[in-house]
């Protein structure tokens, strides 16, 4: 019988500022919540606190929009400075209409506004409405750095996911997805495994990191809950080294671009 999957939000995470040692903050939170890390545990971390600790805050007053950004802002009814940041963080613009701007992020995934966000963001000065937060420069590297720091402190090997909220084609609402991973299988290949009746699976690959990201996002909440980190025990697949690239569908296999 499989072990239960237990997701526990870490209470007491302070507001994160640029330059904060996130590994140390998480370690202290684990101690405060009386959670002793075990081999195979996973920490799922909201992207925003990673981005904040890495200083990815930008004030729109300091952004000079390009002619392309000015035109695209006109077509999407968005702030031209905001659109400029989206373009800088993107490989290409895929779709747009008033109120919507869909891009291929430089990290390879497709999302709205290159993941740049206003919500729950406050800069060190000026009008809070003029501060935005970019995604981490390299979420996989961020996840590895946090994982290594916690391994040094605990002596056990765990996994780390960094997640964000993305919309989905054909469905309303956002859902948590993995954008950075260390020590957790992003994709689990079940091809060749038998099903209940002995039939060998032919195409089944499980986006395990995204499934866990969605579950953790439900526990975190999306507003003022202040629970940006979830401890996970009982993940049903063996931990291993991986990267976000496992989840990225090659463009030549993408029928919807």
**What is the per-residue pLDDT across 137-172, written as a single tens digit (0 to 9) for each?**
999 999 999 999 999 999 999 999 999 999 888 899
Query: Based on the domain organization, do 82 and 14 belong to the same domain?
Result: no
User: By the 8 A CB rule, do 132 and 170 touch?
Assistant: no
- Tell me the per-residue pLDDT of 65-113, one tens digit each, with 9 for 90 and over: 999 999 999 999 999 999 999 999 999 999 999 999 999 999 999 999 9
Instruction: From 133, 161, 189, give the residue that closes a domain.
Output: 133
Q: What is the pLDDT at residue 244?
A: 95
Query: Based on the domain organization, do 118 and 160 belong to the same domain?
Result: no
Average pLDDT over the chain reads 92
- Tell me the per-residue pLDDT of 208-219, one tens digit each, with 9 for 90 and over: 999 999 999 999
Instruction: From 133, 152, 186, give the residue that closes a domain.
Output: 133
Q: How far apart are CA 35 and CA 10, in angstroms?
A: 9
Beta bridge partner(s), residue 58: 132
Query: Based on the domain organization, do 126 and 207 belong to the same domain?
Result: no
Q: How far apart are CA 70 and CA 63, in angstroms?
A: 12
Q: How many structural domains comprise the chain?
A: 2
Q: Does 252 map to a domain?
A: no
Query: Based on the domain organization, do 109 and 215 belong to the same domain?
Result: no
Kindly state the helix (H) or strand (E) to which residue 129 belongs, with its residue range. Answer: none
Nearest to 67 by CA among 84, 79, 53: 84
Q: Does 42 map to a domain?
A: yes
Query: Based on the domain organization, do 167 and 220 belong to the same domain?
Result: yes
Instruction: From 94, 117, 133, give the residue that closes a domain.
Output: 133
- Tell me the per-residue pLDDT of 217-240, one tens digit each, with 9 for 90 and over: 999 986 666 899 999 999 999 999
Query: Based on the domain organization, do 94 and 150 belong to the same domain?
Result: no
Query: Based on the domain organization, do 84 and 149 belong to the same domain?
Result: no
Residue at token pair 């202040």: 226
Query: Based on the domain organization, do 23 and 150 belong to the same domain?
Result: yes
**Does 194 score more than 90 pLDDT?**
no
Query: Based on the domain organization, do 96 and 208 belong to the same domain?
Result: no
pLDDT more than 70, % of the chain:
98
Nearest to 40 by CA among 85, 5, 86: 5
Q: Indicate the pTM of the whole model.
A: 0.93
Query: Based on the domain organization, do 65 and 164 belong to the same domain?
Result: no
Nearest to 240 by CA among 107, 147, 152: 147
Q: Does 255 map to a domain?
A: no
Query: Based on the domain organization, do 105 and 83 belong to the same domain?
Result: yes
CATH, residue 176: 3.30.1330.100
| CA angle centred on 231, ends 8 and 165, rounded to 5° | 90
Q: Does 251 map to a domain?
A: no
Output the CA–CA distances (angstroms, integers) from residue 188 to 70, 104, 112, 239, 246, in the order listed: 43, 24, 27, 11, 9
The domain of 129 spans 57-133
Query: Based on the domain organization, do 72 and 88 belong to the same domain?
Result: yes
Task: Quote the DSSP letter at residue 249.
Answer: P
CATH, residue 76: 3.90.1660.10
Q: Does 1 map to a domain?
A: no
Beta bridge partner(s), residue 43: 160, 231
Q: Does 15 map to a domain?
A: yes
């Amino acid at each position: 019988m499989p072990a239960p999957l237990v997701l526990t939000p870490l209470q007491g995470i302070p507001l994160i500022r640029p330059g904060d040692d996130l590994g140390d903050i998480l370690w202290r939170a684990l101690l405060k919540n009386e959670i002793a890390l075990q081999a195979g545990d996973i920490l799922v971390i909201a992207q925003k606190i990673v981005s904040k600790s890495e200083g990815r805050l930008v004030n729109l007053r300091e952004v000079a929009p390009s002619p392309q950004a000015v035109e695209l802002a006109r077509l999407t009814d968005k702030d031209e400075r905001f659109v400029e940041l989206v373009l800088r963080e993107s490989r290409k613009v895929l779709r747009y209409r008033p109120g919507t701007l869909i891009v291929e992020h430089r990290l390879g995934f497709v999302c709205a506004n290159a993941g740049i966000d206003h919500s729950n963001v406050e800069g060190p000065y000026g009008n809070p409405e003029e501060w935005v937060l970019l995604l981490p420069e390299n979420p996989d590297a961020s996840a590895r750095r946090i994982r290594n720091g916690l391994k040094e402190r605990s002596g056990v090997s765990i996994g780390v996911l960094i997640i964000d909220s993305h919309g989905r084609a054909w469905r309303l609402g956002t859902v948590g997805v993995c954008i950075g991973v260390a020590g957790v299988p992003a994709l689990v290949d079940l091809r060749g495994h038998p099903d209940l009746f002995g039939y060998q699976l032919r195409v089944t690959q499980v986006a395990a990191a995204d499934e866990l990201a969605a579950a953790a996002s439900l526990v975190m909440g999306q507003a003022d809950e202040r629970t940006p980190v979830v401890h996970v025990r009982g993940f049903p697949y063996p931990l291993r080294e991986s990267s976000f690239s496992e989840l990225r569908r090659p463009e030549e296999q993408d029928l919807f671009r």
